[in-house]
Amino acid sequence: MPTTDTLVDSLSSLQRIDQVLQRGDPRAPCASFEGRHWTYGAFNALVDTAAQALAAAGLRAGDRLALLSTPRPEYLLLLMAASRIGAVYLGLNPRHTAAEIAQALRRARPRLVLTLRRFEGQEFLPLFHLAAAQQPAPPVCAFDDLDSCLVALGSLPTLPPAAPSTPDAALARTAAIVFTSGTTGQPKPAMLTHAGLLLAAAVQHLRLNPPAPARARLLCHLPINHVGCLMNLTLGALAGGGSVVFQQRFSAAHTLQLLVDEGINCWLQAPAMFHACVDHPDFNPRALSHLHSVCIGGGAPSARVIQALRSTGAGLFVEYGQTETCSSGAYSDPGASDEVLTHCVGRFDPHFDLRIAHPDGRTCADGEVGEIQARGALVFAGYFDDADATRAAFTPDGWLHTGDLAERRADGCILLRGRLKEMIKSGGYNVYPREVELVLEGHPAVGQVVVVGLPDDRYGEAVHAVLTLRAPATRRSDLLDCCRASLANYKVPKSFRVIDSFALLPNGKIDRVGTRAAASSLPALD
């Protein structure tokens, strides 16, 4: 296993993300999908073929290549082929509506679109026909599988000439455009650089670190338009010579089965997905004893999930980051306690430049709440064609505003307080939703919880909890007693709203904006 700095140094010397395939052992496993397997050598040759076909059709450096697909080998092929010719990859999610696709095409202006023809009965070409009604559309080519994708690439029409554009230095460094997930606002096209993705992937791989001679083997089952798929699952595995197994759509039963059947040794996904897996009747920790590491990213896990995952015997860690920082910037230490895993996001990795900043620009002292900010190679190159949003994303001296509030505890671990925009201002007090969620998650009758602020005549905003119940007979007074035992009065929710299950965003995270919008119409416990 390479030491930290060897892997980081050698990946940092690469120019493009596709070079991770050229570094891999040509005979080692690289990708698997539904019974087919490719070595690094075989996949690299396919990428060469695809890259030549794209270049022959007229795709140039800086042009965007859009792909609508589930996580399948065609995704890896086109991500890497775009990179090989300096083009920019743009993933589109099959769950998007025609209006969302039209919006993505309008903002990112790809020169060519490839799409999976159908999945689970849904046809995707009609989405593009509807989207095309709203704007001049790029050519769209459909494929059914890897073989037909290669055939489609080999017979691409010559692309219509691109509209003249001024050379864009940021785009020249960009490997992929990823629309921010819109957890808290409108999606924006973030330009993620080759350098940022390679650095983030090197660190991710070192954190996974299965003992040699094993190589990291990950299940790749997040949407192909999300940074978690690009960086954590795909490049995080391939950076150090590991492999990926594609799963087209997350389902707890199938995921649990693939972990066993495919010998997955590093399991990485969002907390809501872990919830679904550990609550599934097929969850059998003994069958998962081959797991080396389990990584929870993108949100905070509950104590119940951590305890269930502990029983597999795997090393557990949490990681924190966002699209604009190429995903992960902070990781918990190996062997971190349950308390740290549920409350904290670990420490900023020493390879990155992150800090917690006070609004006046200084770095916060321990115990002081401020905003997490980032700078350096990890940070994105800006929002494509949106100078105003890019300017607003940075401080005047170049630090990225993550919009996340946090404090560093005396033990050095970072306690995430929530999104700046999600902070509830109630009667002059600041309430951090996560603090209230943690208390309610500790109650045995409660499943998942989202705490939101709703308009209130008296307090401006008031704290409300939306939750799933594990014990239907639960009373409001049970939850009030639990909150009052650990929270100041102004933090105690004014109502407890019950929901059957939370709507998830395509990246597997709970839709907090939608939950807040629906909260007042949900039944309240009495």
Q: Which residues bind ligand AMP (CB under 6 A)?
A: 180-181, 183, 227, 297-300, 318, 320, 322-323, 345, 402, 404, 416, 419, 507
Smallest gap from Cβ 506 to ligand AMP, in A, equals 10
Q: What are phi and psi of 360, to 5 degrees?
A: -80, 5
Q: Which amino acid is at 267?
A: W
Smallest gap from Cβ 411 to ligand AMP, in A, equals 17
Smallest gap from Cβ 300 to ligand AMP, in A, equals 4
Helix 252-261 × helix 271-278 angle, to 10°: 80
Helix 271-278 × helix 303-310 angle, to 10°: 60
Of 146 and 300, nearer to ligand AMP (C-beta) is 300
Of 187 and 376, nearer to ligand AMP (C-beta) is 187
Q: Which amino acid is at 173?
A: R
Smallest gap from Cβ 201 to ligand AMP, in A, equals 15
Of 32 and 332, nearer to ligand AMP (C-beta) is 332
Smallest gap from Cβ 182 to ligand AMP, in A, equals 8
Of 88 and 372, nearer to ligand AMP (C-beta) is 372
**Hey, what are 63's tokens?**
């042009």
Q: Any idea what DSSP says for residue 287?
A: G
Going across the sheet that includes 174-179, the strands are 140-143, 112-116, 64-68, 88-92, 174-179, 189-193
Smallest gap from Cβ 344 to ligand AMP, in A, equals 9
Of 63 and 437, nearer to ligand AMP (C-beta) is 437
Of 447 and 508, nearer to ligand AMP (C-beta) is 508
Of 40 and 267, nearer to ligand AMP (C-beta) is 267
Is the bond preceding residue 213 a cis peptide, omega within 30 degrees? Answer: yes
Burial environment of residue 310 by CB neighbours within 10 A (0 to 12, 13 to 18, 19 or more) = middle
Smallest gap from Cβ 233 to ligand AMP, in A, equals 13
Is residue 192 left, alpha or beta, with left meaning phi > 0 and alpha meaning psi from -120 to 50?
beta
How far from chain centre, in Å, is Cα 188? 15
Smallest gap from Cβ 330 to ligand AMP, in A, equals 8
Cβ pair 85, 18 in contact under 8 A: no
**What stretches of 293-450 show up as alpha helix (H) in DSSP?**
303-310, 338-343, 387-393, 433-441
Of 245 and 416, nearer to ligand AMP (C-beta) is 416
If you search the block for the tokens 């798929």, which residue do you land on?
Answer: 229
Smallest gap from Cβ 267 to ligand AMP, in A, equals 15
**Exposure class string for 446-483: b at 16+ Cβ within 10 A, else e:** bbbbbbbbeeeeebebbbbbbbebeeeebeeebbeebb
Of 138 and 223, nearer to ligand AMP (C-beta) is 223
> Which residues contact residue 343 at a Cβ distance below 8 angstroms, ignoring those fewer than 6 apart?
300, 413, 415, 438
Parallel, antiparallel, or unpaired for β 140-143 and 112-116?
parallel
Of 185 and 398, nearer to ligand AMP (C-beta) is 185
Smallest gap from Cβ 434 to ligand AMP, in A, equals 7
How far apart CA 112 and CA 521 sit, in angstroms, is 43
Cβ pair 516, 462 in contact under 8 A: no
Of 209 and 322, nearer to ligand AMP (C-beta) is 322
How far apart CA 395 and CA 372 sit, in angstroms, is 12
Of 111 and 188, nearer to ligand AMP (C-beta) is 188
Going across the sheet that includes 293-297, the strands are 36-39, 29-33, 243-246, 217-220, 266-269, 293-297, 315-322, 327-331, 347-348
Smallest gap from Cβ 295 to ligand AMP, in A, equals 10
Smallest gap from Cβ 404 to ligand AMP, in A, equals 5
Residue 146: other Cβ atoms inside 10 A? 18
